[in-house]
Every structure is written in structure tokens, then in C-alpha cells.
Amino acid sequence: MTTFVPPHMPDISSGNPTARRFAGKDCVISGAGSGIGRAIALRLAAEGARVAILDINTDAADETLEMCGGSGRGLALSIDVRSETSVAAAADAVRQHFGGVDVLVNNAGIEILGTIDETAPEVWDEVMAVNLRGPYLTSRVFLPQLLQRADTKGGAAIVHNASLMGLVSSAGLAAYCASKAGVVSLTRSMALDYASRNLRVNCVCPGIIHTPMLERRFDLQPDRDAAYRTMAMRPPVHYIGRPEDVAASVAYLAADEARFVTGSALTIDGGVGAA
């Protein structure tokens, strides 16, 4: 992968080594076998969490768990967020292993390019099934475990990974943008519905982040380095964000210090959305 970190950037990959905001907390992260989800798992584990790494790619989930410290740090589970049976099986395994859930991060997602005339109905349905129905279904299935922790410990949190594309739009990305706008709306509905139960619900809205998902976009270009440079010039800060930039914001929203924050959509985009 082409990588570029401006020389003035501090290294935040291992977080604040003195912060232990998730000691004694059990956190579930979907799509944690790659990219942003993996960075979130690493960040929460580095801050003391036990982590349940959920991904449709079982090998990738296992690899993330190893990176987090192995089976002493949690468990890796195969899951398809499109399937209620699959999510329910994962929730059962998490209950047996952890006994409950303090933090759920709905991160699994797919990106399929296209205007609506280029997007067949089954492709539209697929994007919605993973990106919008997935967070709904996973939240619904894990809700009893989250509410139980919220009751006994005074709080629990859900963080959805939406996108800047849920707040603004981009040409040629119709289904993806619509799905992510749905996630932003779902965040607000859920925040209102569960505020009185001490369950906070927020979402992050990343801009351009350097992950395998973005690499797949570069793969479609005839000159991937030129495509990278063009993309890097798009944010006002003139570089592409990294998974740990999103992980740091997810950790903040999931931590007790954000106790008064619910229903928010936090942009992590190097200023793109400000224009």
C-alpha cells in the first residue's frame, strides 16, 4: 500500500499509553478484520478492553485478535451482519464469554460505486443489507446485553461507523451515500429511544481514510499513484486520514468521558465537509 504520513504528524497508533478508559469493559466490534475496524479493536484493547472481533472473514478476525494480544484479550467470531441467525449466534458466544457488552461498534461496511442507473436492484439491496440493516440488526440483537450493562454499571455505548457520505454526497456513489445517511438517521433515532436507559448512541463520519476499501478504489484507476495524489489533495489538510484517526474518535465516543454525548455525528475528514 502507498502510505504517506506528513512528517509533523504525531504517531497515535497505540493511543495514549497512560489511558486505560476501557479497563474492565467488554467491547464488540464488527468488521474488525480489516482497516478501520481493526484499528478500533487495537485501540480499545490497548486501553484495557476485552474485545470481540466480528468479521465475515474468519482468518482476518483471528489475525486481529492475535494483534490485540490473543485469546486472553477476547475472542474472534465469524459473522455475517446481513443474517439474523449469524448475528444471534455471535451474541450468544459473546454472552457466554463476557457475560455482557459495554460497547458495540457497528463498523462492517461495503462500498459499491455507481449512479442509480448503474446500480441494479440486487446491488442496492446488498449495500443496504450490510451498511444499514447490519447496524440495525446487530444493535437489536446485542441490545439486551448492552441494556443490562447500562443498568448495572450506569452506562453503555453504541458507535456506528457511518461516513461523511452520510452527511453530504458524492457523484457515482448513490447506494453507499443513501445507506450511510440512513445510519446517521438511525443514530439519532436510537439515541432518543435509549437515552433514558443510559445507553448512548453516536456515529463517526470519516472522510477519506487509507484502508483496503480505499485501495480497492485505487485499483480501478489506470495510474494508482496519480489517483492517490489527487485524492490526498482533496481534504483541506492535504493528506489522507488513517484508520487510527477514526479509532481515536470512536474510543472517545465509547468512553465514559463522553457521558453527555449522544445522537452526535462526528466528522473525521481533514476538513472536507467544512467546505
Shortest Å distance, C-beta 234 to ligand NAD: 11
Distance, CA of 70 to CA of 159 (rounded, Å): 24
For the chain, give the number of residues. Answer: 275
* Residue 236 exposed, middle or buried by CB count within 10 Å (0-12, 13-18, 19+): exposed
Site of interaction with ligand NAD (CB under 6 A): 30-31, 33-37, 55-57, 60, 79-82, 107-111, 130, 161, 163, 206, 208-209, 211-214
Nearer to ligand NAD by Cβ, of 80 and 256: the residue is 80
* Smallest separation (angstroms) from ligand NAD to the CB of 266: 12
Residue 155 vs 180, nearer CB to ligand NAD:
180
Pairing of strands 265-268, 199-206: parallel
176 flagged as catalytic: yes
DSSP, res 173:
B
**Side-chain half-sphere of 37: how many Cα atoms within 13 Å?**
32
Q: How far is the CB of 268 from ligand NAD (least distance, A)?
A: 9
19 or 128: CB nearest ligand NAD:
128
> Of 126 and 256, which has the nearer Cβ to ligand NAD?
126
Q: Residue 114 is placed in which grid cell? A: 455507481
Q: Across the chain, where does the E strand assignment appear? A: 26-30, 50-55, 74-78, 103-106, 156-161, 199-206, 265-268
Residue 205 CB, nearest distance to ligand NAD (Å)?
Answer: 7
Question: Residues 136, 176, 194, 252: which is the catalytic one?
Answer: 176
Who's near 239: CB < 8 A, 6+ residues apart?
4, 5, 6, 232, 270
- Catalytic residue numbers, as ranges: 176
